[in-house]
Structures are given as C-alpha cells and as structure tokens.
Amino acid sequence: MSDVIATNQTILVVGGGISGVTAAIEAAECGKQVILVEKNPSLGGRVSQLYKYFPKLCFPSCGMEINLRRMKANRNLNILTMTEVSAVSGESGNYSVTLKTSPRYVNENCTACGECEKAVESEFDSEYDYGMKKRKGAYLPFNMSYPQRYVIDPAMIGTPDAQNAKNACKYGAIDLDMQESETTLTVGAIVWATGWQPYDADKIQPYGHDRYDNVVSSVEFERMLDPFGPTGGKIVRPSDGKEAKDVAFIQCAGSRDRNHLSHCSRICCMATLKQTTYLREKYADDFKASVYYIDIRAIDRIDDFYQKVQDDENVSFIKSKVASITEDKDTGNPVLHGVDTEGYNRYDNPHDLVVLAVGMEPSVSKDSFPIDVVVNDSGFIEADEKNGGIFAAGCSSDALDVNRAVQSATASALRAIQVVNRVAGTEG
Amino acid sequence: MSDEIKVGAYICKGCGLGERLDCGQLATIAEREGKANLVREHDFLCNAEGVAMIQNDIDNEGVNKVMIAACSRRSKTEAFNFENVAISRANLREGVIWVRPDEDEARELTQEMAADYVRMGCAEIKYMTLPHVSEEAASNNSLLVVGGGIVGMTAAIEAAAAGYPVTLVEKGGVLGGSAHDEYKRIPESMPYADPEDTGVADMVAKVQADSKITVHLNSTTTKTSGAPGRFSADISTESGSTTTENFGAIIMASGARNYDASQLPELGYGKTPDVVDQAGLEKLAMEANGGPIKRPSDGKEVGNVVFVQCAGQRSTEEGHLPYCSGHCCLTSIKQAMYFKDQNPQIDTNIIYSDLRTPGAGGEDFYRSGQQKGITFTKGKVSEVTVGANGPEVKFNDLILDQQVNEKADLVVLATGQIPNSGVDIDLPVAAADEDVDLDNLVPEVKVDSILNLTYRQGPDLPHLKYGFNDSHFICFPYETRRTGIYSAGPVRRPMDMAQAKEDATGAALKAIQALENAKLGRAAHPRSGDLSFPSFRKEGCTQCKRCTVECPFGAIDEDEERYPQFNEARCRRCGTCMGACPVRVISFENYSVETVGQQLKNVDIPDEFDEKPRILVLACENDAYPALDMAAQNGNHYSPFARVIPVRCLGSVNTIWVTDALNSGYDGIILMGCQKGENYQCHFVKGSEIAHVRMSKIDDTLQSLSLEEERVSTYEVAITDIERAPQLINDMAETVERVGMSPFKF
C-alpha cells in the first residue's frame, strides 16, 4: 500500500459494490485520481451474489465484466481490497483518512492457478453463499472475483494447512507472515458507498427463519439459482432437498414495520416478482407462487413487469401481512397464518418453501461512521451541506435498486469532482 | 521511435504451461512461422521480473509489438499493460491447458492447440498497430443543456460548479418548467413530514447569478451537428434570430408533459370543473396560498376531496399509459396535506391500488399523511359522475369488498407523465427517402424535434420504450446511443423532483466525461479509453450505405459525395461498420478484417484424412469469451479442435471471415454473441441482432460450396453460460464427426 499516492485532489471511494465501482470509474474516466477501498477480498458487492436483475432478467456479471475492463485499463484508479476506513478528519478539500488493510496472506504474484486451494483441506462457511455452502481455507471468493487473487482465511493461519497452501504455490505468492497495515492519506473528497446488508431475518420472530429449515430469506433464495451455488442451481427445500414447487413469498419482511425497518426497501417487490419467474424457468408450468403483500411497488416504467407476472396463472397475490408461520412436523411444510384483507378471509396455508423478502439496511450503522455525517432515522446518509466533501452514493443514501444506485453513484462522482476541481483551481 | 516493426514474442511457462506444453517448440513456431524478431521464454512472465524483461526489450531492443503467450487477455491485464506498444495475447492457460485433460494421450492435441494460438497471436500482432489519436479530437469545455426546468437547471448548476461553462436553452419565457407551477414539493430531507418550498426561485436565482451559465429563454435548438468535443448548435429565438455556438457535450432535459385528462371522461374530467388533475390542484393551491382551497365551479371551500390514483395509467386500455409515473402517490399525499394542514377537518381520501412510497423519505411521508388523518382506501374507481352538489366517485372498496358512492367537493385525478422525447426516429415515417408502404405508416402526429440533429439516422435520441429516452442497461443508466448526448429527468423515465435532480447531476457527469474523452480521442464505455477509430479506403467504397445505416450509434453520416463520414468521437468502436462492409474497406488500427482474418488463416489445417477437424469460434469479448474463460477456471473441458477468437461484438464479424474459414478447410464455425431482440444484452445494441441476420444468409455460401448448413451456427451466449458455452463447442465437434470433414483442406 506504500505506493499509493494521494493528494487533496484525490477522490476516495469507500465501498466496492456496484455504486462504489461506478463512482470510482466514472470519476477516473473524467481524468481524476481515485482510490477505491473495499473491505472484502473482492470487488462486486451484493450484486455479484444475484442470479439475475429485474426487470430484464439479465445477469449482473455481464455489467461487472465491463466495469472490470474499464478498471483494468484505467491508470487513474487505485484499488485496495480488504481495506477499511478507520478514521477520517478534516474538511472538504482536505481530509486525512486512515486506512486499515487486513492481511490477505497472498501477494500480487498470485496467478489464480488454484494449486493452493487443491492443497488444503480446511473448510469454512462461504460468505458469498451466506453460509449455505463451504469453501476452502484458500479460496477465490467467486468466479469473477477481482482482483483475481486467492485469499487465505485468517483462521487457517498457524495450522499445517496454511503451510500446505504455501508449499503448493510455485510463485512465492503466499506470505503467511503478512500483517495488518495502516496508512494515512490526504484526499479532497470522499464518496461513501458502503451499501446495504439484508435485514437479519431471524429478528422477525413470528416467521421462524431461525427455527424452520424451509423458511429462507430472499437473498438466500437467490443463491440457490447459481449453478455454482449451494444447490447447484436447483430450487430445493433445505430440510430434505426436495424440489420446492409451491413457494410463498412474504413481502415487507422487516420493512415498513416500526418494530424492524421503518422504511420501504423499494427493491423487494420487484425482487419477488423476478423470483417468481425463476420458478417458471425451473419448473415450467408445474409450480405455484403465492405473494403475500401490502402494496406491490413496481415503480415507474417497470410496472409492466408486474403486469406480466400478474398474467401468469401460477402466480397469485394475497393482500395480507402474514401474522405467523408454524411448521407442519410431518411434512416439514411451513404453514402461513393470517387474514386476507381483501374480503377478510382467514387462512392457514401450507407451502413447500417460504421466501422472506427481507429489507435493506445500511451496512454501516448510524453511530459507526468514522466522521460525523447527517443520517436519517433509517440510517441512510442525507444529502446535507454539513457533510462537506463527503457524498453518499447508492444504498448508503437510500434504499435503491441497481439502476438508481448507479445513477446516484454517477451524481456523487460529479459532486466529488466539484470539490477536487475547486482545490485544483485554488492551488493551480 | 523508428517505424521499423519489431515483434517480441514472450512465452510463459508458469501455471503449469511449462509442464503441460513443449514451450521450446512454441518458441520455435513463434520465430519461424510467426516471424517474431525476438522470442523469449520465461518461467513466470507476469511477475515483476518477467514484466521488467519485456519492458527492457521495449526500451532497449526496439520491440514495439508484443505477443504474450500466457493466460487469457482477461488475466494479468494490469501486469501486461505496456504503454506505446501494440499487444496481442495467445491464451494458452484458459484457452488450452485448462480445457484439456492432463493425460499423456491428450498431449499431442493439446500441444497442437497451443501451437495454433501462438501462430494466431503472431499473425494478429503483425496486422495490428498502435492507434494514434484521431485528428478529429477536439477540445471544448462548454455544455449545452436543452430545457430549463428543474432538471436542466440542476445539470447547469452542477456542471458549472465543476468548472464547465453551460448554455441553457429554454423554450418558454421563464425557467422552472413544470415545477414553476407547483405550490410545494414532496419533502427531500428529514423528517419527511410536510410539503416544502419547491426551491425553484432559489434555483433560478442561482442560475442567473452564475457567471458560467448563459441562459437563452424563448429559444429552441433548431440544428445540432458535429460530435463530442465539436458539437455545433443553432439556438433560435421565437422571433427568429439564430446564434450558432459550439459545445463539447449535450444534455437533453426536455422533461415531461401531463397526460391529457380529457381522455378520461369516465372519470368526469371535462364534465365539471370540480374534477381536476394534479396540475390543476397545484394551481388551486397556489391561488389559495395557504388559505382554504376553493372548488372551481362555485368557489365553495372544499370540505371533502377524493384523489383517484393511477388515473389513465398502469392500464392496457387504449389511450391509457401502460406505465406507472412513479411520483403520483407521493404527490397526492402532498396535495392531501395542502388541505389537512390548512384545516384538519377536511376529508381527504386517496383511492389507490398499490400505494407506492419507496425509500426512507417516501415511507416517512406516507406515515406523516396517516398521522395527519388522510384516509387511504384500496379501491378501484369505476366512474366519476356529476351530482347535484358536486362530483360523485363510484368505486369498489377492495378491503370491504363493497361498492361505494362517495360525494366530494373536489376530485383530483392522478394522471401520468408523458416524455417530451421528440421524434421517434424508429418509426417508418422517418425513412422519407426510402420506398415506404404508405398504408403501414402510423397516423402522422406532428412532433417537434428537440435537438434537430443533422445525423443521418434521425433528428433526436432513439426512444427506448413508451417514448422514454432511457438506457436499456440496468448497470449503465446513462448509456446513450448518441455519444456525448445524455438525456436526464422525466424524459428518460418517469420520476419525481428529487430523483430528477439526482439524475441531472449524473447526466452532467457523463456529459463532462464525454467532452474530456473527446479531447484525447478516447472511446466511451464499454471500450473506455480505446483510441482506435474506423478509417476507410475511399477508392474501394461502393457507397452502399450499409455502414451508415447499421451503426448502432448513428456515428456515420454521408458527405456531399455520399461517402461515409465517420465522426470519430461519436464512435464506440464496436466494429459493426467493419462487419457490414461488403468490400471490406473499413478497419481500425488495432482491429481489422486482417487482424482476425490472418489469425484464422494461420491456424494449421491438417489433412482431411488426419481426422483432426478445426472449429472456428468467434466469441463476443464481453460475454461469451469470459464464459469460456470461467469454464476453463472451473475445469470444464472442450474439444481440442476449437480455435477461439474474441471479437469486439458479433456485429463486427465480416462474413468474409466465415467464407475464408470455409474455404480454408475449417469444418465448423460457431458465432457466439449476446442476447438480441427486445431484451437485448448486446453492449453495442444491435450488433448481435445484425450478425444473426447476416449469418442467416450464409446458407447460400454453404450451398455454393456444397457444404452442410449445420457447419455454421450462431448462438446467443450469456456470460453465465459457463457450462453451455463449452457444450456448444462439443456439440459442433459431434456435428462435424457426423457430417464428416470438410473437403476444402489444401
């Protein structure tokens, strides 16, 4: 990291998901010096864990490939992974930031040949698969990881397996003595793009995500569709591996709820509509999807996607906030209890699998920002002059879909450029 | 640097290449057949020492073309990023050893595969030159913003704040657009509880005070020509005077207009003045200015108001809008508050099907509305009639499942937004000089052009869906099909004021980026930074116009002599023109009919009786090629007879490559491009589609050669087709086995 040069005309982008990556590339392609930091071993963020995007049902890795190409070709961009911002001080045009980099135990000599992975036995829960799958202790987080460089799990350090990995590497790429390092840089503006995390479904107690195998969250369901994922691309029940063909989707799981997230997470309705198409993709006409909802928020011109799903006879919509879920012990079926508010009919509906459309909450909690920023009740950063040269991008500013997050990131890049251009103007 | 071409070929032995391949033989091939001037092997080419070795040869040995035989061009790109030299990559790792079993019996074919890739790499680099900057590269820091509403003003203010001068052109006599006629706006900051001042006056003052912004009122853009960095626009006033100015880039912020509510007689609009649309209510609120809002018919203070959501929208009925306008739910809550904040006793009922108040601010505002006593009813309005004392709303209350007839003093219809996106250039009427079937013309609606582009492909930005000038890409909302021109605000997709401002700021960034790119002759994404551009050999051109018609970005015009005029800064370097050209006179310095054609010609074609077929795979570099790389990474094997060449876009595939390949004895040919059609994934919009059309005509060639049709296949392949892409190759290998070897091996 010692070779990173930064001045108060440099833009720091915090977070390497699609918003941070976009802000960084867009600014760099305007000719600005940019440092992009990401706390995980790879760029990509949440979108890299998605099977498809709504409403086009296209693949997120396609856009990521373009963005990777843009990054590889750009000399204005400096990318630091496994790095977090531990402290920020100063003001617009002149911030001092302290970056803390965790050891990857693999240096730039790595060719991603994969020999270290073959040499180790230890396995850990895969973060990429929300713990639904194991990965090795020497691993590439996912197919399109960038940098395309292996990682050694810190828990493996000091074990014989770590030595096995090192011995398997012919290129001197594994350095088991690598230490955490810290560096302090000067930057002019900061784009804050730390994104979101899925709301912890276990907290919605009546739904039993922590008790019933066949109640999964929407992000876990999404992982099932990855051919390289935990179920090899099959929609199956975690309890018994049987095909799940009768699937319930519960909207606003944690969102629009004073006990959980008071905001609307915006994406969950469209995500569920999208996920009903996965059922059709896998099971043709042999499936049933039931969507329990308050309002279907398929906003603006993509409402036609909702109209299309409504036309699917195998998908039904029930206006109801589900009260609770119990489990039928004999079948393992989750049973949904509640009242259909259109006509006030009580129901006790069993399904093969329940998907909780969990909300988005900001990754960085309200009181954990390294510098004071104006944050609203939901924890999103407000656009406020008091934030000086710090600009929120993407889901750190509000619950946004990918398209809007990228818009927001592009706008933030300009706001950051305004600051560094002002600095350049006064300093020449 | 001298003009002498010196090719350095570098063969890596790392990642198992040294063990799996006879690298010495590959080096000999590079030297003898590839005619490389300097050949070196290295144990670990991408490490600091290997890279330094190559750099040293560039600096001291005069190497100006570098052929690297190692891993995929997608790997170690940063390490092998040498400046001022042309670079080609022979993919021996992902393309050869990783897709082949590590067994002794496989060795011979694996080696032959590697040898061919070395031949191909050497052939490509021979015909590739380092692009020099376009002579058309031009520097102009000024932005043209068309439209002086919230969006246009925001774009102007934000661009000016970054130091770029802006000219703002507004058709009307005042700035502010539709927001100018609004009483208050939806809140944009904590606590998101009450309507707030629109901020329009402040914004207008800011625009007027900004020395970097020039405003033209009562003006339109009557002619726009040029390209990023050198746009020229005629700005004409109503009175007829015109000034011509030059700009680096353009933002189109022409906004949206209100849906004509008189198309909704069933909802009472036009039958009584007491049924208004949302714009009408804003007007009433402005007149009341904080006092009681009065109904238009008799001036009675409104005591009961009903809002009908989704009026004439989210509906497939003829004349209705099929989409949701995004802002109307929040707008109705805001308007209901106009009543409640003035007098909490007024009944306000919002009848909706889905209430759409997204995000933190949206939901807080909704809750604030509930606290203020606004009634929200899930229902479907069937009719608004005119009763003795005012309008009556008939609706089905979906919660109580009963028909209700609610009397109101005033009814507000939440109608939608229609984009002011100018002329739909894809309508057949645009092709005035072609033979058009007059019966099939859509009824002519006179639409004024917004930009009046002099582009060969039409005067405005292409529309996407429902008339919006949106981007088709989720990841790239500012993708434009007219480089350097960005649409922003509700002309792009329906949106509220806060989103429109965010959108305007993003568009301003992209416009600035476009003019910065133009200064250096750089391409915009997806081939960001590419300095190459199409050039053509005029003597050979037959003026067939295919390139000018097929360019997905409208980059090519025709000059006075009817030759193509390329407008380099508009070009996105996809090569669709090159693929289109029947006489093959179009090329890029780093990508041409030769750089690919020579690769396929330099593959060793064994004798028919060797039973070693050759399958040519032309794969889109963004999706199919990475899919094959990832297949290799995951240990998927495929036929050793395949030879894969990445192409910029399937649109760049000139059928001569296919014909040449067939004539040289290839047994099968596979083209892999992106998804085409309505939900296209092709990054160059039409490339994949065009390629499929071109290839549908290849059967004639096959027939004339008496070859089987199944020898050539074109597929849509996604980047996630990690298992399917190798399978397609294996399928072709089986096909070849079935139909037999090509007889054209000489």
Note the pLDDT tens digit of each residue in B350-382. Answer: 999 999 999 999 999 999 999 999 999 999 999
Taking the CA of residue B128 and the nearest CA in chain A, the distance in Å comes to 19
A·B CB contacts under 8 A: 246
Residue at B595 is within a domain: no
pLDDT average, residue stretch A334-338: 98
Query: In this structure, are B243 and B275 located in the same domain?
Result: no
Q: Do B105 and B186 fall within a single domain?
A: no
Quick check: B360 and A377 CB within 8 A? Answer: yes
- Chain A contact probe: residue of B475, B522, B621, B680 with most A CBs at under 10 A: B475
User: Min CA distance, B225 vs chain A (Å)?
Assistant: 24
Q: Which residue has the tokens 């100006």?
A: B64
* Closest Cβ–Cβ partner in A63, A256, A376 for B476: A63
Q: Would an 8 Å CB–CB cutoff place B534 in contact with chain A?
A: no
**Do residue B478 and residue A407 have CB atoms under 8 angstroms apart?**
yes
Whether residue B412 is found in the same domain as residue B425: no
Whether the per-residue pLDDT at B100 is higher than 90: the answer is yes
Alpha-carbon distance A14 to nearest alpha carbon in chain B (angstroms): 19
B466 contacts chain A (CB < 8 A)? yes
Interface test with A, best of B15, B527, B720 (most A CBs within 10 A): B720
B619 assigned to some structural domain? no
- CA torsion sign for B653, B655, B660, B663 is positive
Q: Are residues B330 and B244 in the same domain?
A: no
CA distance B175 to chain A (A): 22
Chain B residues 375-434 with a CB less than 8 Å from chain A: 378, 398-399, 401
Q: Which amino acid is at B279?
A: A
Q: Which two tokens stand for residue B651?
A: 């649109």
3 state SS of B195: coil
Is B211's Cβ below 8 Å from some Cβ in A? no
Distance CA B112, CA A412 (A): 52
Site from A25, A107, A117, A299 to mutate, B interface, most B CB atoms within 10 angstroms: A299
- Contact flag A29-B525 (C-beta cutoff 8 Å): yes
Give the DSSP letter string of B8-75.
EEEEE-TTTHHHHS-HHHHHHHHHHTS--SEEEEESSTTSHHHHHHHHHHHHHS---EEEEEES-TTS
Please report the beta strands in B517-626, taking only residues with DSSP state E, as ranges in sequence order.
535-536, 557-558, 564-565, 586-587, 615-620
| Distance, CA of B683 to CA of B619 (rounded, Å) | 14
Domain termination residue (choose one: B488, B520, B552): B520
Report pLDDT digits (tens) over B287-314: 999 999 999 999 999 999 999 999 999 9
Best of A111, A310, A395, A417 to substitute, by most chain B Cβ atoms within 10 angstroms, is A111
What pLDDT score was predicted for residue B133?
81
Question: Which of B520, B547, B566 is where one domain is finished?
Answer: B520
Name the residue facing B526 among A57, A66, A378 (closest C-beta). Answer: A66
Give residue-wise pLDDT tens across range A203-214: 999 999 999 999
Nearest CA in chain B to A109: B47
Which of B416, B436, B467 terminates a domain? The answer is B416
- Asked whether the beta carbons of residue B630 and residue A143 sit closer than 8 angstroms, the reply is yes
User: Same structural domain for residues B34 and B117?
Assistant: yes
Domains of chain A plus CATH, in order, are 10-102+180-195+363-427 (3.50.50.60), 115-168 (no CATH), 199-360 (3.50.50.60)
CATH of the domain at B64: 3.40.50.960
**A162-169 average pLDDT score:** 97
Residue B710 forms part of a structural domain: no
Environment class of A123 (CB within 10 Å of its CB; exposed 0-12, middle 13-18, buried 19+): middle
- Cβ neighbours, 10 Å, residue A199: 23
> What number is the average pLDDT over the span B177-181?
94
Choose the closest CB to B633 out of A70, A143, A343.
Answer: A143
- Residue B659 forms part of a structural domain: no
Instruction: Report the gap between the CA of A141 and the closest CA in chain B (Å).
Output: 13
Identify whether the C-beta of residue B501 lies closer than 8 Å to the C-beta of residue B150.
yes
Q: Are residues B2 and B100 in the same domain?
A: yes
Nearest-CA distance from A238 to chain B in Å? 24
* B372 and B511 inside one domain: no
Please indicate whether, in this complex, the C-beta atoms of B622 and A60 are within 8 angstroms of each other.
no
Does residue B531 fall inside a structural domain? no
CA B9 to CA B125: how far, in whole Å? 10
The answer, as to whether pTM is greater than 0.90, is yes
Nearest to B529 among A60, A74, A262 (CB): A74
Mean pLDDT of chain B: 95
Segment B29-52 shows an average pLDDT of: 97
Spell out the residues 6+ positions from residue B632 whose beta carbon is closer than 8 angstroms to its own.
Answer: B72, B93, B94, B95, B98, B99
- The tally of domains found in chain B comes to 3
Which residues of chain B neighbour A341 with C-beta distances below 8 Å?
Answer: 399
Whether A415 and B634 lie within 8 Å, measured CB to CB: no
CB of B743 less than 8 A from some CB of A: no
B11 within domain boundaries: yes
Structure tokens at A131: 């713990």
Same domain, yes or no: B96 and B147: no
The answer to whether the CB of B47 falls within 8 A of the CB of A109 is yes
Residue A5 pLDDT grade (very low, low, confident, very high; cuts 50, 70, 90): confident
Give the distance from residue B723's alpha carbon to the nearest chain A alpha carbon, in angstroms. Answer: 9
Q: Do residues B18 and B118 share a domain? A: yes
Residue B506, sorted as left (phi over 0), alpha (psi -120 to 50) or beta, turns out to be: alpha
Query: What does DSSP say about strands A181-187 and A94-101: parallel, antiparallel, or unpaired?
Result: antiparallel
Q: Is pLDDT at A359 greater than 90 in this prediction?
A: yes
* Boundaries of domain holding B314: 259-416
- Looking at the partner chain, which of B16, B47, B506 has a beta carbon nearest the beta carbon of A411? B506
Task: Report yes or no on B565 lying in a domain.
Answer: no
What is the pLDDT, as a whole number, of residue A376? 96
pLDDT at A364: 96
Domain co-membership, B411 together with B431: no
Residue-wise burial string across B294-317, b where 16 or more C-beta atoms lie within 10 A, e elsewhere: bbbeeeeebbbbbbbbbbbbbeee
CB spacing of A227 vs B681 below 8 angstroms: no
In this prediction, residue B132 carries a pLDDT of 85
CA distance B687 to B654: 12
When CB atoms are compared, the residue of A56, A171, A404 closest to B679 is A56
Q: CB-based contact (8 Å) between B151 and chain A? A: no
Cβ of A376 within 8 Å of Cβ of B16? The answer is no
CA of B710: how far to CAs of A115, A301, B8, B400, B745, in Å?
40, 41, 39, 62, 18
Asked if A383 and B517 come within 8 Å (Cβ–Cβ), the reply is no
Closest listed residue to residue B584, CA positions, set B619, B549, B620, B534: B534
CA B685 to chain A, closest CA, distance in angstroms equals 14
Q: Which of B394, B365, B389 is nearest to B306 (CA)?
A: B394
- With an 8 Å Cβ cutoff, are B681 and A62 in contact? yes
Min Cα separation B316/chain A (Å): 9
Cβ contact B156:B488 at 8 Å: no
Name the band, by pLDDT with cuts 50, 70 and 90, for residue A1. very low
- Determine, for residues A228 and B634 on separate chains, whether the beta-carbon distance falls below 8 Å: yes
Residues 67-106 of B with CB under 8 A from A: 71, 74-78, 81
What is the average pLDDT across A327-340? 97
pLDDT of the residue at B436: 47
Say yes or no to pLDDT of B430 above 60: no
Is B727 touching A (CB cutoff 8 A)?
Answer: no
A69 and B679 in contact by Cβ < 8 A? no
Q: Which of A262, A301, A380 sits opposite B468 (nearest CB)?
A: A301
Contacts of A64 in chain B (CB under 8 A): 475
With residue B450 as reference, give the H or E element that holds it. none
Average pLDDT of the segment spanning B122-132: 94
Same domain, B326 and B360: yes
Tell me how close the Cα of B446 comes to any Cα of chain A, in angstroms: 24
Give the H or E element holding residue B216: strand B213-216
CATH (domain of B152)? 3.50.50.60
The radius of gyration computed from the CA coordinates of chain A, to the nearest angstrom, equals 23
With contacts defined as CB-CB under 8 Å, which chain A residues touch B399?
A: 341-342, 344
User: Does A414 sit within 8 Å of B158, measured CB to CB?
Assistant: yes
Would the CB atoms of A376 and B78 count as touching at under 8 Å? Answer: no
pLDDT interval class at A259 (50, 70, 90) = very high
Closest-CA distance of chain A to residue B258, Å: 15
pLDDT at B666 over 50: yes
Contact between chains at A30 and B512 (C-beta distance less than 8 A): yes
Q: Is B689 inside any structural domain?
A: no
- Mean pLDDT of the A274-283 span: 98
Residue ranges of B 24-53 with Cβ closer than 8 A to chain A: 44, 46-47
pLDDT value at B431 more than 80? no
Least confident among A367-376, B72-81, B126-135, B275-284: B126-135
Contact A342 B399 (CB under 8 A): yes
Give the pLDDT confidence of B152-164 residue by residue, as tens digits: 999 999 999 999 9
Share of chain B above pLDDT 90, in %: 92
Residues B73 and B98 in one domain: yes
B317 reaches A (C-beta below 8 A): no
